[in-house]
Amino acid sequence: MLDWIKKAAWFSLAILLLFLAIVCIFVPFNSMNETDTDAKSPIIQKYSTKGLYMEPSYYVKMRNGDGYGISRKEIYQLQIGDTYGAQKKVP
């Protein structure tokens, strides 16, 4: 009876290590070290969207293709061509 428990434990450990190895291979570690300075790029477009019942949401589009959600205060302070870096990206 104890023999099949040992085999099941070793099998579970092997599956766990295999999963961990697959995750380590496919997760890009360099993206986890991205800081605000890495994300800075010139602004090429400022725009806002309004939902049905919500106040407007403000966004900027960067030259490198990234888009960021910004505050109402920032939309008026930033100009086209300014550099901007933020941590929350717009999908």
Q: Can you give the length of the chain in residues?
A: 91
- pTM for this one? 0.50
Q: What is the mean pLDDT of each run of 10 residues along the chain (91 residues)?
A: 85 94 76 54 88 84 85 88 67 53
Please tell me whether residues 20 and 46 are part of one structural domain. no
Report how far Cα 35 is from the mean position of its chain's Cα atoms. 11
d(C-alpha 76, C-alpha 56), whole Å: 14
d(C-alpha 42, C-alpha 79), whole Å: 10
Please tell me whether residues 28 and 42 are part of one structural domain. no
- Number of structural domains the chain divides into: 2
Residue 89 covered by a domain: no
d(C-alpha 15, C-alpha 66), whole Å: 37
Residue 11 pLDDT: 94
Residue 88 pLDDT: 52
